[in-house]
Amino acid sequence: MDPTGFNSGAKAAIGSIRESMAVGKEGAKLITDIQADMRSTVVEQQRNREKERQKQANLGNEQEQRAYRKLLNKQAQEKASNDLKEHILKTHGSKAWQDFLKIKTEVEIQEKADAKLMRKDEQKVSEVFWWCFAASSILTYFLVAM
């Protein structure tokens, strides 16, 4: 066997071994990266479960706090109404209080009527929007089809 041919064959074999080692290192790095991604996904899912448990634990507290604030607001409104009634009765008399109650009822009726009209207007606008959407969809279909 020719020593030059043997040397070139040995060099080619060493080069192949080095390339194989480099590919093996890249494969090992890829596996390590996949394992790290899997681990981070598992950790993130655990954090989400812990957040959900914490949210469930605080849910009663939040509801209780909201109910307490609502109670305080209701009491404040009642106190304000009572103070207003006392003020009107003191300064204007009982006839003015009766007039106030009538006007208050009229205002409430008007506000309900206005709210009803606003809902109707919103519904009309929504209907116009959907009709425009349907018309534009049909128009687009025919423009694209041609």
Could you give the count of Cα atoms lying within 13 Å of 111 in the half-sphere of its Cβ? 6
* pLDDT digits 0-9 by tens, 11-70: 777 777 788 777 777 877 877 887 777 888 888 888 888 888 887 766 667 788 888 889
Tokens, residue 129: 């929007």
104 pLDDT band (50/70/90 cuts)?
very high
pLDDT at 146: 64
Nearest CA among 112, 131, 134, 113 for reference residue 123:
131
pLDDT at 80: 94
